[in-house]
Amino acid sequence: MNQTTADFLATVPLLGGLDRAELQRFADLTREKSYPRGSVILFEDDPGDSLFIVRRGRVKVVLVGEDGREVILGVLGVGEHFGELALIDDRPRSAHVIAMEDSDLLVLRRDDFRSRVESSPSVAWSLLTELSRRLRRADDKIGGLVLLDVPGRISRLLLDLAEEGGGSTIERQLTHQTIAQMIGASRETVSRAMKDFQDTGWITVERRRITLADRKALELRARVRV
């Protein structure tokens, strides 16, 4: 079990730069938990005492307004993680995390993670690098939400998701409702824009798998218009 877990941890960006011995130490400290589709993994304001890494399935990080409206901050798949801020500042969780499908998560307690960070500068550097990457992406997302119209936001989102996958196809199966909740728009507006993108040949969609057929056009559409 631990050997397999160490192999998996080597694929996680947060830990991928560590040597085999260090990965094995982390593997020995983790435990695995399973969550059925639709279950709440974390509630906003829960105590933040663990880091979670997705081993199987997908989860969404969401904020829920007083009116019940849901805004998706991110959709995380295999190898991605959440809860790292709580490992540093001891503050409560800042959002809900919900399983979008049956999911298995590796859980690493804060005290165990901190002990590894204190004994290994490479772990601390990996954490800083990952936090910096997320902060830059958050800045880009905020700028897009403020300055771009809905088609521009969709273009930016599709480009970002394709870049994460390292190609032109977005492997994550996203509904129009999910996209709408990720960019702060209505599902109807998203559906119209996605149809326009298909009609003009910018994207192709097959079984909810989106392929960028004209990346240049999407890049131009994702630019701020003045």
Do 134 and 36 belong together in one domain? yes
CATH of the domain at 158: 1.10.10.10
For residues 123 and 157, membership in a common domain is answered with no
> What does the chain come to in residues?
226
What burial class does residue 41 get, using C-beta atoms within 10 Å of its C-beta: 0-12 exposed, 13-18 middle, 19+ buried? buried
Residue 76 domain-assigned (yes or no): yes
The whole-model pTM stands at 0.73
The pLDDT assigned to 224 comes to 59
Q: Check whether residue 51 and residue 127 sit in a common domain.
A: yes
Res 102: pLDDT: 96
CA distances from 146 to 107, 154, 186 (A): 35, 13, 16
Q: Which residues contact 160 (CB under 8 A, 6 or more apart)?
A: 137, 140
Residue 92 within a domain: yes
Asked if residue 181 and residue 136 are part of one domain, the reply reads: no
pLDDT at 93: 82
SS3 224: coil
Could you tell me the two tokens for 93?
């969780």
User: Within a domain: residue 20?
Assistant: yes
Whether 122 and 26 share a structural domain: yes
Same domain, 18 and 129: yes
Q: Give the C-alpha separation, 33 to 8, whole Å.
A: 15
Identify the domain boundary among 116, 140, 164: 140
- Does the residue 226 lie in any domain? no
Task: Supply the pLDDT for residue 8.
Answer: 93
Q: Which of 140, 173, 197 is the last residue in one of the domains? A: 140
Based on the domain organization, do 104 and 34 belong to the same domain? yes
Res 111: pLDDT: 86
Full residue range of the structural domain in which residue 164 is found: 149-221
Q: Which residues contact 220 (CB under 8 A, 6 or more apart)?
A: none
Together in a domain, 108 and 204:
no
Q: Same structural domain for residues 89 and 132?
A: yes
Q: How many domains does the chain have?
A: 2
Q: Does the residue 65 lie in any domain? A: yes
Picking from 88, 107, 140, the residue at the C-terminal end of a domain is 140
If asked whether residues 156 and 72 sit together in one domain, one would say: no
Angle (CA) 222-74-68 rounded to 5° is 105
- The pLDDT score that the predictor gives to residue 130 is 74
72 shares its domain with 110: yes
Full pLDDT tens readout for the chain, 226 residues: 455 899 999 888 878 778 888 889 889 999 999 999 999 999 888 877 888 999 999 999 998 877 777 888 888 999 888 887 777 777 778 789 999 999 999 999 888 888 887 877 777 777 777 777 777 776 666 666 667 899 999 999 999 888 877 788 887 778 899 999 888 889 999 999 999 999 999 999 988 789 999 999 999 998 855 4
CATH code, domain with 68: 2.60.120.10
